[in-house]
Chains A and B, each alone.
Chain A
Amino acid sequence: MDRNLLFATSSELVRVPSEALVSVRADGNYSAVRLADGSEYYLTLQLGQIERRIAEQSADGDNKFIRIGKSLIVNREFIIYINHARQKLVMSDGRSFRFEESASREALRSLREYIESISNE
């Protein structure tokens, strides 16, 4: 069951249904949170802190979020394209938004294998 994820700092709060969180990218000491409505929020949280908060607030059995390397967290439900050779990852809901992300080739190879493995289950 989806539930709201809360990311709060001393000065701001982002509250988002977990199914609407598309990706989080590290940008120095900030994290850029991208949502399914196309909006983007910068939080003064490091990616490791975001990851821990997602883990704390996720329902049992909810493992749709994947940490990719040091700089990226993605919601696997929005992954529509992986090209490890070009280090390209495209996130989209197929209708209203489309984001391109990049990650290392090894990580994207692993991601592809994981996506294929859960698709075959």
Chain B
Amino acid sequence: MSNKGHDIDDDEIRIISSRPQPVKPGKSSSGRRLRGALAGLFVVIAAVVLFFVLKGCSGTVAEDDAEYPSVTGGSVSGDRGFVAADSLETDSRDNDEDMALDSKTPVTQEPKGYIAMRDTTIAGARLTVYTPVDAVPELAIGVDVLADSTVLMAFQAADIRADNGQIVSAFVDHGQLISTGQSKAGFCAIIDGKITLGVADVTQYFEQALTTDGYFFRQYPLVVGNQVIENKPKGRSLRKALAELNGKIVVIASRNELTFGEFSGAMVDMGVSTAIYLVGSKSYGIVRLPDGDVLEYNLRGVRKYPENTNFIVWK
């Protein structure tokens, strides 16, 4: 019997064989960890050697050191890996001479937001949860926003009418009223960069969005007060939702086809307190992950999307 008692991580694979065969492809996570540790050790040794070499030199030391933060600053600004950015910034502030350089060399602070992603399965519903961290939400109409490289995540928000191409129900874009209506009771308001989800035919957030250059759209309500809201459509499809989970606003996407009830029930089981629907099925979505990977949902060529296709985006 092979593999008896061997645990396996989600990031690993293992060949099942009648003979013990702990086969792991060349780039298994443990191998990567080992290489990472060796690389880290090499960096530490190199840093120590460099320190003593520089210490042995006179006159040029301060100048060489002074250039270092601007170089690392450049690499930080292009990196969405917030942990690395923080650690590098701390290093640059440790040197008094660096502070003088900072005062005459403005360092551009790029947004440090990122999207955290995790998969879960609840009662047969396979869900992916995207959590924006330090990212600013807004709405956008049209597909041009998808070309903006600062967009960390975008999903279609309000539905479009098939007959006239207009946005269904009330929609406010940066304080401008684009459409009206209350056919869907769920709403999402973005006021001063903060998302509020709820269910109401009339809400003060609509007025606030208009008077504060905010954003507002309506969709099917799925969950309110940790309770499932019944909706008429009964068919199964890939589902997406904007939800409040443990006090954070997240996007939840199903990886298998579910009814509204199954989708909402799974969200309640995972602890969602409020959720409204986002356009599902073949809708477009894009997520830029911290490691540079880009996930795209249902890419079919952006030119094929109607003019009023709208997105909730995080930058």
Q: Which residue of chain A has its CB nearest to the CB of B292?
A: A85
Beta-carbon contacts of A52-70 to B below 8 Å, as 1s and 0s?
1011111110110111111
Chain B residues in 8 Å Cβ range of A114: 13, 15, 23, 25
* A36: Cβ under 8 A from any B Cβ: no
Beta-carbon contacts of A65-84 to B below 8 Å, as 1s and 0s?
11111110100000000000
Q: Which residue of chain A has its CB nearest to the CB of B21?
A: A63
Q: Is the CB of B1 within 8 A of A52?
A: yes
B261 CB to closest chain A CB, in angstroms? 19
A-B contact count (CB 8 A): 97
Question: Do A87 and B119 contact each other (CB < 8 Å), given the known contacts A52-B4, A102-B126, A105-B293?
Answer: yes
* B10: Cβ under 8 A from any A Cβ: yes
A60, A86, A102, A109: the one contacting B27 at CB < 8 Å is A109
Chain A residues in 8 Å Cβ range of B17: 55, 58, 62-63
Distance between Cα atoms of A3 and B301 in the complex (Å): 47
Q: Is the CB of A63 within 8 A of B16?
A: yes
Chain A residues in 8 Å Cβ range of B65: none
Q: Is the CB of B9 within 8 A of A70?
A: yes
Q: Which residue of chain B has its CB nearest to the CB of A83?
A: B295
* A27: Cβ under 8 A from any B Cβ: yes
B83 CB to closest chain A CB, in angstroms? 18
Known: A85-B295, A117-B25; 6 extra A-B contacts, CB below 8 A, are A56-B1, A63-B23, A68-B13, A104-B10, A107-B11, A110-B28
Binding site for A on B (CB under 8 A): 1-4, 8-19, 21, 23-29, 119, 121, 124, 126, 255, 293-296
Pull 29 A–B residue pairs with CB atoms less than 8 Å apart, ordered by A: A51-B3, A52-B3, A52-B4, A54-B16, A55-B3, A55-B18, A62-B18, A63-B21, A63-B23, A65-B15, A65-B16, A66-B15, A67-B14, A69-B8, A71-B121, A85-B293, A85-B294, A87-B119, A104-B10, A104-B119, A106-B29, A109-B27, A110-B11, A110-B13, A110-B29, A113-B25, A113-B26, A114-B15, A117-B25
Q: Which 8 A-B pairs have the closest CB atoms?
A: A106-B11, A69-B10, A65-B16, A63-B17, A114-B25, A67-B14, A113-B25, A55-B2
Binding site for B on A (CB under 8 A): 27, 51-52, 54-60, 62-63, 65-71, 73, 85-87, 102-107, 109-111, 113-114, 117
